[in-house]
Amino acid sequence: MRNKEFPFFTILYLVAAAWNLVGAIFGYFNPEYTFQGIFERPLNDPLFYEIYKGAWGTTFLFFFGYLIVAYNPIKHSGLALIGGIGKFFFAIAELQLYLAGLANALILIIVIGDFIFCAFFVYYFFKLYQQKQTIF
């Protein structure tokens, strides 16, 4: 990969890390507020509370994964692949909640943001392939 492309992918994955950190801060450290804001109902059930908080905990872990990829986008393409797949399926699940009428339009911020990142991640893998870089 040409040197001029490294800064773009480093910045991309730093922004992806920040995006996940912001979501994790709200969702993991204040799940009741986040749940109420998105689903317009209280988060009363202890089991559902732990599952919801765990989902945001996963988002927090993706923050660290994207930081690792930002450090060396070529070496850590496997992490980028896992992160991209996770982001894609998370966005699909969130969109399904919206389409089923279970979540309000606020969730579309997450959905649209994650799909935008997915598009950039596809571009990242296209550039790796184009430059004959090993993926994984």
Please state the domain extents for the chain.
5-130
Alpha-carbon span 46 to 52, nearest angstrom: 10
35-55 residue pLDDT tens: 999 999 999 999 999 999 999
Side chain identity at residue 68, one-letter code = I
Q: Tell me the pTM.
A: 0.91
Cα-based torsion angle of the residue sequence 109, 111, 115, 117 in order, rounded to the nearest 10 degrees: 60
Q: Above 90 in pLDDT, residue 96?
A: yes
pLDDT for the residue 4: 59
Region of 2 (left: φ > 0; alpha: ψ -120 to 50; beta: rest) is beta
Residue 5 has pLDDT above 80, yes or no: no
User: In the chain, pLDDT over 70 holds for what percent of residues?
Assistant: 96
- Token reading at 87: 């982001």
